[in-house]
Amino acid sequence: MRFEREQVLAAMRARVAQGKAILAAAAGNGLVARVEDKNGADAIIVYNSGRYRMNGIASIAGNLPIGDANAIVREMGKEQILPQVKHTPVVAGIYGVDPTRDMEAFLQELADIGYSGVINFPTVGKLSGPIRQELEQVGLGFAREVERLRLAASMGFFTMAYCYCPEEARMLAEADIDIIVSHVGLTAGGDVGVRTASPLEAAVEKTRAIHEAALKVKPDILCLCHGGPIVAPADVQYVVDNTPAVGFVAASSIERLPVEGSVGEMVGALKAVTL
């Protein structure tokens, strides 16, 4: 089932008006998607990194040139995720700077299989230094991602976007993107999460700066947070209490870390069975 942009945004804004945070939850396989759908996630996001994450590989692999990110998300959606979801809008992580695709035709394929929204992932926003400068110079930079998100919006998708700094947040707000997600780094913890992350207070400061930059341009933009030390519900509560964030994008924190913990505990409990 495909959801209309205005329908999705109205439901999210109604939730915020009720004083409840928005939850956008990643799903790297159909089982996770089915559980999230059943338990009321506000949106389900399909990333190429979800395939890696749920196969024991660090999520950052989704940013490496080791697979066709757009093809992976199309395949995951069609064969694994969308057949399991009945009540929740599903978002496709698109690599917007892909120079090998007719992006309009690709977006139409995503719409045809049931995706309701898009988000820029993988994203060049995560890159810095010479490689970022070179990508920007040859037209494969962040502005290209924004352009592709605007194209998706014109085709009826609701749009989400990761951003890493206030400048990117302003660009997205000026492009009338519906939802921005402040990204403060790879999620910490577990077997394949980062070992060190910025303190939660530093994540709050960065999140606040990103959100305020966007809200100054587009006061009704929905601001979500993600990443780094923002892992547990208490972390999310702290960020929401101290920034303009009205919700959270959960990826490793909702599928990888719970699986690692629950499976480990069950193995331990079963190994304790005696004869």
Integer angstrom CA distances of residue 190 from 26, 37, 233, 239: 17, 24, 16, 21
Question: Average pLDDT of 72-86?
Answer: 98
Of 155, 164, 76, 158, which Cα lies nearest the Cα of 123?
A: 164
Write down the pLDDT at residue 1. 78
Write down the pLDDT at residue 87. 97
Instruction: Determine the longest span between alpha carbons in the chain, in angstroms.
Output: 68
Q: Give the pLDDT band of residue 269 (cuts 50, 70, 90).
A: very high
Q: Give the pLDDT band of residue 217 (cuts 50, 70, 90).
A: very high
User: CA-CA distance, 132 to 65, in Å (whole number)?
Assistant: 15
Write down the pLDDT at residue 183. 96
Question: Average pLDDT of 172-193?
Answer: 92
What lies within 8 Å, CB to CB, of 94 at 6+ separation is 69, 70, 73, 103, 106, 107, 110, 118, 119, 120, 121, 148, 152
Q: Which two tokens stand for residue 171?
A: 């660009």
Q: What are phi and psi of 229, to 5 degrees?
A: -85, 0
User: CA-CA distance, 33 to 31, in Å (whole number)?
Assistant: 5
Q: What is the pLDDT of residues 43-69, one digit of tens each?
A: 999 999 999 999 999 999 999 999 999
Q: Is the pLDDT of residue 190 over 90?
A: no
Do 185 and 198 form a contact (C-beta atoms < 8 A)? yes
User: CA-CA distance, 209 to 213, in Å (whole number)?
Assistant: 6
Q: What is the pLDDT of residues 92-115, one digit of tens each?
A: 999 999 999 999 999 999 999 999
Do 89 and 114 form a contact (C-beta atoms < 8 A)? no
What percent of the chain lies above the pLDDT cut of 90? 95
Report angle CA 190, 60, 232 to the nearest 5 degrees: 40
Q: What are phi and psi of 156, to 5 degrees?
A: 100, 0
Of 113, 123, 67, which Cα lies nearest the Cα of 91?
A: 113
Q: Is the pLDDT of residue 139 over 80?
A: yes
Helix 103-113, helix 142-154: angle, nearest 10: 50
Write down the pLDDT at residue 188. 86
Q: Which two tokens stand for residue 264?
A: 């480990």
Domains, the chain = 5-271 (3.20.20.70)
What lies within 8 Å, CB to CB, of 15 at 6+ separation is 21, 22, 42
Report angle CA 149, 154, 155 to the nearest 5 degrees: 95
